Structure 1
């Protein structure tokens, strides 16, 4: 079992780095705050008896050697960068729990066939450059030099940030791992939702990571005077848009797994006494099944077209982003289920609506995640909170899951 007090103390100490006036945390990638956080985490890795290094994209890695050093490695971890004024658990919990698990193994003399590495990925959040998961993309071998040209608000590119941090952008390919070198990746994370809280469960097993589809709907109607245009002859772009929004809600709700969100709306000309002639709105559509998500999308498109044709409104739909969902591996889910059973905890499966580093590793190795309960479902905010007890439950499940994946060797001479 992990050391609950040690894990909690480290979480609190790490939260002091990048502390904001409102009690949140701002640790953007390649800043002095992130550097300080990585240095502190590196000290914990050394305390845990791990071999510490940083790779060519800045990932901080602590290795516990296996009985077979040539065997494929089991990866576990998360990130220590944050959004602007974020919370203290999103990312750091997964990193510190991974270190804690390996430290306990070393303290108890537990050996495994496969090596295990605790990892703090570089820039998962993407808050600084509007381009995230740099570290996991690097390990997956999908990070390109062109992507390093993304800039922050001060005009500094990722490439320049690399150089300022002592990294060579020309060597990012050296961080990539081959499929035969990695056995599995498992990450502990806060849920960032209310499912576990509603079920009164401290922990859960992630079934898959939903892939976001972003669309932009543009409705072109006819501007008219609000008082002088009779209802039967109007071509109101907003009325058509509103009806389509209801269709989105209805169609997404039918599957039980899909979520659809209209987050941005533009109404023109925008006068109180003018019939809207143009409306634009965004749609964020997600599901852990690409087939289900795309079926919902097609149904929305079909009905939206019928609505607009009936109202004499022209509809254009632009695709902004289409990311494939990432189902979690049965190998990871089985190892986690066995961990829950051994610890006497109820195993509940739930999807992740948010993206995580594991999505980038899906084609590299079996990938999976564990969630712990988030108070009120709050995340990316100073009010983000998970209890000490829930953090310990999650870390214990991670500990046992990693042992299952790395294949613990029992010393028969030990009692």
Structure 2
């Protein structure tokens, strides 16, 4: 029979320690020290208590713990000398059935890894969902992490140890993250839709109103119907809108959601997590036959990334009345206008239809969004959830430097008007100037030398610029300094610059009351409140101009990387996000 938290909290110390035996490999002291903090409000609180014990123990104790772990598919496995827990985990991942070639490859990786780092490679082989990584995934992770910096890899090993412990603890207590698994599976199913040239390479790319994008919309709409939304439709910009009615007709709605488009070769969770977490909440309400004093409107926003057209946030912008009429005449790389793309997708493609999407704030309580963090902070803090205090203001620009193309062999260095070098100098200034603020960031994400040649001094160089800061004033000061330096570089190098602003978003501080609701929801799960700003832009920053808003961040794995196929989170963390969302709903219901 699985243990219960009440049993653990009430048991004498030796018995409680026996209940937690086998969590940390040959290291019972971690659980024993954590037990001094009883009673625990939740398993999540117990997990975090053990994390903090190990953090306080120091590097030598941490290194000893890492070295207590067996190699993957190593000698201990062959000799059947693993602990019962490790045996189960390696068997679940199929490591006990490696082909001779796979086994030999893993052995070489083990040897190379140990030679570089001096400790065994640690990987939670049961994976983010707990059902096991494939041998291919394990080998890919092995090869990728072999190139890590030792300090970063040391911490990554500890994080994987904590994930192993989390899964083992779930097993002991019969705690399955059912809703987290559901959200995980929904996102996996949605990831089957990708644009053809990317799908062929196993990459995920879904840009505005492509066939893959329209397939995603249809799939999300079907899920909305299945979970119990009373109304589902696709609106004039491609948003998928699902409404779960209030107990009383005409009651206001809580607006929530996020985007379902992706960057090119992106991850499965950016945006999409914020669609499926509230859908899981609606599913639970529907299955329980429960109606709240307010309605819930979930919007899967059709566009947030600005990948196909220079019209970032057009989908959430339509809801606040900020859709720019000039966007309809923009063309993509194939010369297709946005209006044409809309009409091909069966949308009206008219300003009148789009203008009708603007929401009346009198009909809404506010807007909340759940999102993967897209950064390393929660991952490094070993915290599953964080409450967002504000979203950074940002500005995006497209620029070009124009110099003189000339022969690379005959043009002396002091006679050149090298457009690429001018942009390179500007790039370094952006990096240095943003660092000066401490919390500003600046990025040149695209760089091109049109018609460039190996033996020609670049005459043109196109680039993008992305600047972000916690306040509009700080962002604008950064941009002003970049513009001034750009002109100085132009004069010094004999080139000219053009710079076109393509997007500007104001900083969006969280509404205090809604932020406090998220904080109470996190606290109710037995977790500490951790506040952090968002460096990335989100649909919430557009809704902020119309409604009070606040966001909840969910920890990402692999260093918190995003806009990358390695973007990931666990079903356990997603379970906590769903539970926090449910708690927020109940708070609001009690206030109505």
- TM class by smaller structure: 0.7 to 0.9
Q: 2:215 aligned to 27, 33, 36, which one?
A: 36
Paired residue for 1:76?
256
**Hey, what does 1:9 align to over in structure 2?**
185
- Residues 111, 408 of structure 1: 8 Å contact kept: no
SS of match in other structure, 2:241: strand
Query: Shift of the alpha carbon at 1:245?
Result: 4.4
Structure 1 residue matching 2:395: 3-state secondary structure = strand
SS for the counterpart of 1:407 is helix
- Residues 37-56 of structure 1: pairs in structure 2 closer than 5 A: 37-54=216-233, 55-56=235-236
Contact 2:397 2:500 in 1 (8 A): yes
Deviation at 1:183, TM superposition (A): 1.9
Cα distance in 1 for residues equivalent to 2:449 and 2:189: 47
What is the aligned partner in structure 2 of residue 329 from structure 1?
510
* Paired residue secondary structure (1:323): strand
Contact (CA 8 Å) 1:339, 1:400: kept in 2 or not?
yes
Give, in angstroms, the shift of residue 316 of structure 1: 4.9
The answer for the alignment partner of 1:212 in structure 2 is 395
Which stretch has the larger CA shift, 386-395 or 26-35? Answer: 26-35
Q: Is the 8 A contact 1:2 1:101 kept in 2?
A: no
Tell me if structure 1 keeps the 8 A contact 2:450–2:460. yes
Output one character per residue of 1:96-144: Cα deviation in whole Å (capped at 9) or x when no partner: 1110011223334544322111221223334334434333122222224
Q: Is the 8 A contact 1:204 1:347 kept in 2?
A: yes
Give the superposition deviation at 1:304: 6.1
* CA deviation string 1:365-399 (max 9, x = no partner): 11232222222333333332222122222222233
* 1:37 to partner: Cα distance: 2.7
TM-score (norm 1): 0.82
Q: Deviations over 1:229-255 (max 9, x none)?
A: 798x99998887666544433321122
Aligned residues of 1:52 and 1:60 also touching (Cα < 8 A)? no
Deviations 1:284-318 (A, max 9, x none): 22113111122233344556666777x58677563
Larger radius of gyration: 2
Report the more deviating stretch, 219-228 or 156-165: 219-228
Q: 1:158 aligns with which of 329, 332, 338?
A: 338
Task: Give 1:264 deviation, angstroms.
Answer: 4.9
Deviation at 1:145, TM superposition (A): 4.4
Bigger strand fraction? 1
Matched, 1:113 2:289: no
Of 565, 568, 574, 1:385 maps to 568
- Whether the 8 Å CA contact 1:209–1:353 is kept in 2: the answer is yes
2:448–2:462: 8 Å Cα contact kept in structure 1? yes
Give the secondary-structure state (helix, strand or coil) at the position aligned to 2:533. strand
1:276-355 to 2 correspondences below 5 Å: 282-302=464-484, 316=497, 318-321=499-502, 323-330=504-511, 331-355=513-537
Q: Please give the secondary structure, in 1, of the residue aligned with 2:505.
A: coil
| Distance verdict in 2 for CA 1:122–1:297, change over 3 Å | closer
Counterpart CA distance in 2 for 1:359 and 1:124 is 11
Q: Which residue of 2 aligns with 1:413?
A: none
Instruction: From 375, 391, 400, give the equivalent of 2:583.
Output: 400
Work out which of the residue numbers 330, 338, 347 in structure 2 matches 1:167: 347
1 or 2, which has the higher helix percentage? 2
Question: Which one of the candidate residues 246, 254, 259 is aligned to 2:441?
Answer: 259
* Inter-CA distance 255–346: structure 2 relative to 1 (3 Å threshold): farther
- Distance in 2 between the 1:177 and 1:21 partners? 40
With a CA cutoff of 8 Å and minimum separation of 6, indicate the structure with the bigger relative contact order: 1
In structure 2, do the counterparts of structure 1 residues 297 and 134 end up closer, same or farther at CA, with 3 Å as the change threshold?
closer
The change in CA–CA distance for 1:66 and 1:307 in structure 2 (over 3 A counts) is same
Written as runs of structure 1 = structure 2, the 5 A alignment for 1:128-207 is: 128-170=308-350, 171-206=353-388, 207=390
Aligned residues: 407
TM-score by length of 2: 0.59
The Cα offsets for residues 262-282 of structure 1, whole Å up to 9 and x where unpaired, read as: 345578998999998987765
Q: Deviations over 1:297-344 (max 9, x none)?
A: 3344556666777x5867756343451333132233222112111122
| Match of residue 547 from structure 2 | 365
The whole-number CA distance in structure 2 between the counterparts of 1:347 and 1:227 is: 64
* 5+ residue gaps, structure 2: 1-176
- Tell me by how many angstroms 1:185 deviates: 1.2
Q: Deviations over 1:181-236 (max 9, x none)?
A: 222111112222222212222222222143124374758799999999798x9999
Partner SS, residue 4 of structure 1: helix
Give the whole-Å Cα distance in 1 for the aligned partners of 2:532 and 2:398: 25
- Which deviates more, 219-228 or 23-32? 219-228
Question: Root-mean-square deviation (CA), in Å?
Answer: 3.7
1:74 positional shift: 0.9
Aligned residue for 1:124, secondary structure, equals coil
- Please give the alpha-carbon distance, in whole angstroms, between the structure 2 residues aligned to 1:305 and 1:293: 19
